[in-house]
């Protein structure tokens, strides 16, 4: 549009036919023209939708190829396996399962302490401590229960718990 305005501003003098009763004067020199206007600033680029989508894809992080992804997973699996084997090798003595029968001591107001029973079972086999894997219970009664004709009373029998299997270290 600025180009159109610039061309419209430049006009060549034209000869006009003399009007009736009007004297024609000698042509005068055209007034000096001002310096041409500076060109209009260039418009911003408006590339369109396709170009904008292309720019968006350029900003995305690069994706790994399937081969690179598999290699990365393999490396992680090897590292995890190495960490697991290191953890197992740090154990001073491998855990073992032992069998036996050790009573779980009765606690004052609660259930019997089978952790202490498992520790005793493992110590009897040469280990330091243990964890109970299997327990058994049995009713232990006094000899009075065996007397013929005697009625059984509430304090005559008790239930004892035993550790029969333990995992020892």
pLDDT digits (tens, 9 = 90+) for 75-111: 999 888 888 777 666 655 567 899 999 999 887 778 8
- Give the model's pLDDT for residue 32: 59
Q: How many CA atoms lie within 13 A of 168 on its CB side?
A: 23
Instruction: Work out whether the CA dihedral 46, 52, 58, 61 comes out positive or negative.
Output: positive
**Model confidence at 67, in pLDDT bands (50, 70, 90)?**
confident
Q: What is the gyration radius of the CA atoms in the chain, in angstroms?
A: 53
Q: With pLDDT > 90 as the criterion, what percentage of the chain qualifies?
A: 21
Name which of 100, 87, 85, 89 is nearest 168 in CA terms.
Answer: 100
Q: What letter does residue 109 receive in the DSSP assignment?
A: S
Structure confidence at residue 95 (pLDDT): 77
Residue 9 has pLDDT above 70, yes or no: no
Predicted pLDDT of residue 124: 92
């Amino acid at each position: 549009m600025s180009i159109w305005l610039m061309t419209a501003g430049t006009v060549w003098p034209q000869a006009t036919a003399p009007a009736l009763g009007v004297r024609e004067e000698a042509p005068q020199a055209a007034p000096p023209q001002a310096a041409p206007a500076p060109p209009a600033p260039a418009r911003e680029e408006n590339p369109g939708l396709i170009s904008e989508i292309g720019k968006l894809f350029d900003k995305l992080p690069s994706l790994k190829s399937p081969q690179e992804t598999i290699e990365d997973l393999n490396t992680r699996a090897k590292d995890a396996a190495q960490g697991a084997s290191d953890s197992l090798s740090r154990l001073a003595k491998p855990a073992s399962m032992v069998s036996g029968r050790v009573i779980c001591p009765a606690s004052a107001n609660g259930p019997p302490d089978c952790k202490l029973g498992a520790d005793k079972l493992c110590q009897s086999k040469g280990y330091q401590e243990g964890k109970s894997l299997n327990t058994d219970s049995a009713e232990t009664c006094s000899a009075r229960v065996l007397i013929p004709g005697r009625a059984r009373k509430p304090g005559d029998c008790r239930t004892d718990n035993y550790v029969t299997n333990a995992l020892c270290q």
